[in-house]
Structure 1
Amino acid sequence: MRTRPAVFLLALAAAFPALAYNMQAPILPDPKLSPGDVLTSDKAIICVSGYTKTVRNVPQSLKEQVYRSYGITSREPGEYEVDHIISLELGGSNSIRNLYPESYKTQPLNAHVKDTLENKLHALACGGQITMQEAQTAIASNWTTAYVKYVGPLPGGAQPLTPGGAPTTHVPALPTPSPVPVGKTAQGTGTISGAATPNADGSCPSSAPIKVSKSGIYHLPTGDGNYNRTHAQQCFSDAAAAQAAGYRGVK
């Protein structure tokens, strides 16, 4: 025999399917699993058209790891995306610390709503109205409160949430994510651990022999037939450093 609370919840689920779905899918990332992580805060790099294509690199194996960490064992095609908490257009990284499964179906808050905020923050930061660090902190701390602050009321009369799911009326004072400066790319310059500037002839220094081509693929000095004819756009000390900067190896 079902208890009255159980019967009540079943009735709610039958009457409001979207409400029942909201109880299953995360609206906000779990800060213990994915607190957010940045690759760079440099506007000279981020705000150049096409930047995100040079750093986007989340393999399917990593996406599956994100789903498992959030306890999502099954899903329909197009139901979720593995989203960057701090979006790439705001300097976010491809680290698992910056990824979580976000639903397109939850109502009224979903991946489409967060996309609107990402675009707004990108415009504000690249336009000089706020700093890139402010944009990164706002979306990493709580994207629902950031939406209210920078875009306006949440759709459907929704209220901002806390990571536990309860409504909140204030932006929590959380620490700023630690920016990681990015290395030289086609769009700008800077420094990143394990990175080095290519030599004038397109070769790499011995301390950082990994070559990154114009297509964003890194080449190893051994076992790679294209290595010698690749004119390096960036150099790295090892494959892990190149991957951390958003580049991929030869398939």
Structure 2
Amino acid sequence: MKAHKGLAVALLVVGLIAGCSKEEAKHPANAPAQEVGPQPAPKEKAGTIPVGPGPQGTYTVAAQPAPGSCHYRYTSDKQPLPDSNCTPGATNPKVSAANLADTICKSGYTTSIRPNTTITNPEKAANIKSYGYNGDPRDAEYDHLISLELGGDPNDPRNIWVEPPSPGHQNGNGPNNPKDGVESKLHTLVCSGKVALLDAQVAIATDWTTALAKVGFPS
């Protein structure tokens, strides 16, 4: 009886050793760890606003939406608004609430990141077709929906549109857009710490005519 027990124990030990050897063969203790390549970062969003590529050392002419695919909206007093599908706005990833003093609140910053007319002129011509604008091109501003001074992306087509002149404009007199004044006031409020950067960006991207009221400073 003892002999049988001894034989059974011996067989069990041999089986365990064999099993361990097989596992070691599959997963050697000294095998190098498998390297995992870098994973793509999730696409950033600033609230509900897309984030653009940011300032570039050399800009290239950006493709615009297809001709006739964008449609102006108008407020009750006939102020123009962009098509929110074509032009939802896009922010500059280099600008944040933490670095305002070194970016949009620093004199000369927006000039340093603005694309020149060799880029914006052909983009404007294509965007005129996107929106079907049929007025004098000289009276329409190729406008950053979220202005550069509010941390808008310099050349993302989602942030630029051909803005028609406002009511009362005289043909041939060049752009006449009260939106510019709203942008300047918001910039002052952001840089003085009275309005959060993201709040100003969302307000101007949603409806520039109500942006100041939306952030609590109606004109």
| TM-score, normalising length: structure 1 | 0.46
* Identity among equivalent pairs (%): 40
User: Structure 1 residue 29 and structure 2 residue 82: aligned?
Assistant: yes
Amino acid at match of 2:189: L
Aligned equivalents of 1:140 and 1:55: distance in 2? Answer: 20
Partner residue, 1:65: 126
With structure 2 as the length reference, what TM-score do the two structures score?
0.53
Alignment-mate amino acid for residue 46 of structure 1: I
Q: Is the 8 A contact 1:26 1:101 kept in 2?
A: no
Task: Considering fraction of residues, name the structure with more helix.
Answer: 2
Deviations 1:6-60 (A, max 9, x none): xxxxxxxxxxxxxxxx99x970110111100011334131110011111111521
Alignment size in residue pairs:
130
In the alignment, which of 74, 79, 87 is matched to residue 147 of structure 2? 87
What does residue 17 of structure 2 align with? none
Conserved? CA contact 1:79–1:105, under 8 Å: no
Instruction: Confirm or deny: 8 A CA contact 1:120 1:151 kept in the other structure.
Output: no
1:152 corresponds to 2:218? yes
Evaluate the alpha carbon distance shift between residue 103 and residue 132 of structure 1 in structure 2; reply closer, same or farther with a 3 A threshold: same
Q: 1:48 aligns with which of 88, 101, 106?
A: 106
Counterparts of 1:89 and 1:114 in 2: how far apart (Å)?
Answer: 13
Structure 1 residues without counterparts, runs of 5 or longer: 1-21, 154-251
Residue 160 of structure 2 is aligned with which of 89, 99, 103?
A: 99
Q: What is the alpha-carbon distance in structure 2 between the residues aligned to residue 105 and residue 124 of structure 1?
A: 24
Which runs of structure 1 show a deviation greater than 4 angstroms over 4 or more consecutive aligned residues? none
Q: Does 1:78 align with 2:138?
A: yes
TM-superposed deviation, 1:105: 4.2
Shift of 1:103: 2.2
Change (3 A) 1:151 1:65: farther
Secondary structure in 2 aligned to 1:130?
coil
Structure 2 distance, partners of 1:30, 1:56, is 23
Paired residues of 2:152 and 2:159 also in contact (CA < 8 A): yes
CA contact (8 A) 1:102 1:111 kept: no
RMSD: 2.7
- Partners of 1:103 and 1:54 lie apart in 2 by 26
The one-letter amino acid of 1:120's match is K
Distance in 1, Cα, partners of 2:176 & 2:91: 20
Q: Any unmatched runs of 5+ in structure 2?
A: 1-74, 170-174
